[in-house]
């Protein structure tokens, strides 16, 4: 664990910003989780790809990247601070729009434990609080049942369907559009 400056904490997770020092743990978790993520997403699995990925999240004001970290209630415990997943807010537009698009992924060791649900709740609180956003969108491939269940649990509503929306894994993929606004929380 590189930095324990948490932006928000829940009973079992906390969120913090990406750092360059997270490269080894993040990329190891990504490699361990390839089967879980395929064909939906491809998080960086090498030091070079992580440096570029994290650099954009840290430097671009239209993006905010959060690591979902495990908490066991005892600083320095076996899983305290371990990265369970990541949640990014991309394409942030302020002004009258105040919206961003979510991208996220949990790591295999954290699957089925509710850590990403708690982490997403913390990110929503931060997005609708300190970041000052009004709306967050999540575009999800229809076959990605786990991702749809995550946003549904968080209170997102299904708003539509976008054919050929994103180019992923060599093809244009259809996506469902899910969204939540600050007043829905």
Which tens digits make up the pLDDT trace of 91-141? 999 999 999 999 999 999 999 999 999 999 999 999 999 999 999 999 999
Question: 């969108």: which residue's tokens?
Answer: 137
pLDDT digits (tens, 9 = 90+) for 54-87: 999 999 999 999 999 998 754 445 567 899 999 9
Position 108 scores a pLDDT of 93
pLDDT digits (tens, 9 = 90+) for 129-176: 999 999 999 999 999 999 999 999 999 999 999 999 999 989 999 999
Kindly tell me if the per-residue pLDDT of 184 is higher than 70: yes
Kindly tell me if the per-residue pLDDT of 2 is higher than 50: no
Position 37 scores a pLDDT of 84
Kindly tell me if the per-residue pLDDT of 21 is higher than 50: yes
Position 39 scores a pLDDT of 83
Closest CA to 83 of 180, 168, 183, 2: 2
For residue 163 the two structure tokens come to 């054919």
C-alpha distances in Å from residue 50, one per residue of 24, 57, 71, 94, 185: 9, 11, 24, 27, 33
Return the DSSP state at 30: H
C-alpha distances in Å from residue 160, one per residue of 71, 90, 91, 163: 36, 20, 19, 10
Report the chain's terminal Cα–Cα distance, integer Å: 31
Position 155 scores a pLDDT of 98
Is this prediction's pTM over 0.75?
A: yes
pLDDT digits (tens, 9 = 90+) for 29-41: 999 998 888 888 8
Residue 1's pLDDT band, with cuts at 50, 70 and 90, is very low
């Amino acid at each position: 664990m590189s930095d324990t400056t948490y932006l928000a904490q829940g009973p079992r997770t906390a969120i913090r910003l990406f750092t360059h020092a997270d490269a080894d743990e993040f990329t190891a978790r990504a490699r361990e989780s390839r089967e879980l993520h395929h064909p939906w997403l491809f998080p960086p699995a090498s030091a070079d790809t992580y440096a570029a990925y994290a650099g954009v999240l840290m430097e671009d004001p239209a993006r905010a990247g959060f690591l979902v970290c495990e908490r066991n209630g005892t600083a320095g415990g076996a899983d305290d601070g371990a990265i369970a997943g990541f949640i990014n807010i991309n394409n942030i537009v302020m002004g009258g729009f105040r919206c961003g698009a979510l991208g996220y992924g949990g790591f295999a060791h954290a699957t089925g434990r509710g850590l990403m649900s708690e982490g997403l709740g913390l990110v929503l609180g931060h997005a609708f609080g300190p970041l000052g956003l009004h709306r967050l969108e999540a575009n999800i491939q229809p076959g990605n049942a786990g991702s749809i269940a995550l946003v549904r649990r968080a209170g997102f509503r299904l708003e539509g369907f976008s054919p050929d929306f994103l180019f992923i894994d060599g093809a244009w993929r259809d996506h469902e559009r899910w969204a939540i606004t600050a007043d829905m929380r």
